[in-house]
Amino acid sequence: METNRKTDMAWLSGFFDGEGTVRIASPNKRDLGHLEVSIVNTDKQIMNDIYAMFGGVGYLKSQKQKKKNHRIYYRWVIASVEASKFLKLLQPWVQRKIVKEKVRVALEYQDIKSENNGKFRKGNPASDEYREEMFNYWLYMRHLNARGVDLPKVDCPKANSFRKK
């Protein structure tokens, strides 16, 4: 990623706050999930500019809406390490508490994944504890991404294990 201009990052952070998504893909037996960041918008020029701003990392594609009266929209998606780099650039500018928490959890998740990269291969499976930890990150991110959800209360399942210490 080639940009580091403060004004671009401040603008992009605000744009991401409204149009972006941070998610962890569902873990399964073969794959323990991965971090994914996306931005969706109907303005082709803005989306091309964002894509170019980050050197063409990830992919940008257009998709038609299912209803006739909807416009074509554009989706930029980056994953894993590149998504982590993107979030680290935006992190100082993020304003909303729920988005700050999503970014914090996503970066923590990717750091753990990166530390363990290559350790788990065929013949050397991930431990049950590691699988459970990855599942819990996915579960918590899923909770944070639910509509109408604010930061979890203390009684939320698994919330305490993810609270910043």
98 pLDDT above the threshold of 80 = yes
Residue 153 domain boundaries: 6-162
- pLDDT score at 149: 77
The count of structural domains within the chain is: 1
Angle between helices 80-90 and 6-19 (to 10 degrees): 110
Beta strand 73-79 pairing with 35-41:
antiparallel
Task: List, as one string, the DSSP characters of 16-68.
Answer: HHHHEEEEEPPP-SS----EEEEEEES-HHHHHHHHHHTTT-SEEEEE--SST
Kindly state whether residue 1 falls inside one of the protein's structural domains: no
Q: What CATH number has the domain bearing residue 89?
A: 3.10.28.10
35 touches 21 (CB < 8 A): no
Kindly state whether residue 50 falls inside one of the protein's structural domains: yes
Kindly state whether residue 142 falls inside one of the protein's structural domains: yes
What are the pLDDT digits (tens) for 46-85? Answer: 999 999 999 999 999 998 877 888 889 999 999 999 999 9
Kindly state whether residue 131 falls inside one of the protein's structural domains: yes
Q: Output the pTM of the full model.
A: 0.84
- Across the range 128-155, mean pLDDT stands at 84
Kindly state whether residue 43 falls inside one of the protein's structural domains: yes
Kindly state whether residue 144 falls inside one of the protein's structural domains: yes
